[in-house]
Homo-oligomer: A and B are copies of this chain.
């Protein structure tokens, strides 16, 4: 089976996307680390909790929404628990399961952190694009997601 190499246009698009993949996470991460001593992933975990009913979610559900393996999430939540931003308690309905809940402190922390984070996202993504490009981006990222995340775990909330 012969390889279908990328033509010049495809190559340009891919190389630039790869560069964004490499650089953008670092930018977001530094800002959050610097201003809030939070990983981007930790921030995302807290954000997902904040949107859930009672700010509570089962570990498995939280892992899905944040695209983490359960072991990873377990470690992260343990750390967040140490900082009293999140708390864990056994799930009443299922003794195997654990619930994670955003604490009042965590909620405050999130509210204090969100503006800076949004500002960073604007500065490096939203505000450098035209409104038309923003719609295009939604379409493009959506298409890629369908192949990379067929079950729609990560973007479930915002889908269609």
Query: What is the minimal beta-carbon distance from A156 to any residue of chain B, in angstroms?
Result: 10
Copies of the chain in the assembly: 2
Indicate if the CB atoms of B136 and A3 lie closer than 8 Å: no
Query: A123: nearest residue on chain B (CB-CB)?
Result: B147
**B138 near A16 (CB under 8 angstroms)?**
yes
Provide the bound-state CA to CA distance between A115 and B5, in Å: 8
Q: Are A129 and B123 in contact (CB under 8 A)?
A: no
Residue contact A16 to B141, C-beta cutoff 8 Å: yes
In the complex, A52 has a CB within 8 A of chain B? no
Question: What residues of chain A have their CB less than 8 Å away from a CB belonging to chain B?
Answer: 3-6, 9-25, 27, 44, 67, 114-115, 118-119, 121-126, 128-129, 131, 133-149, 154-155, 157-158
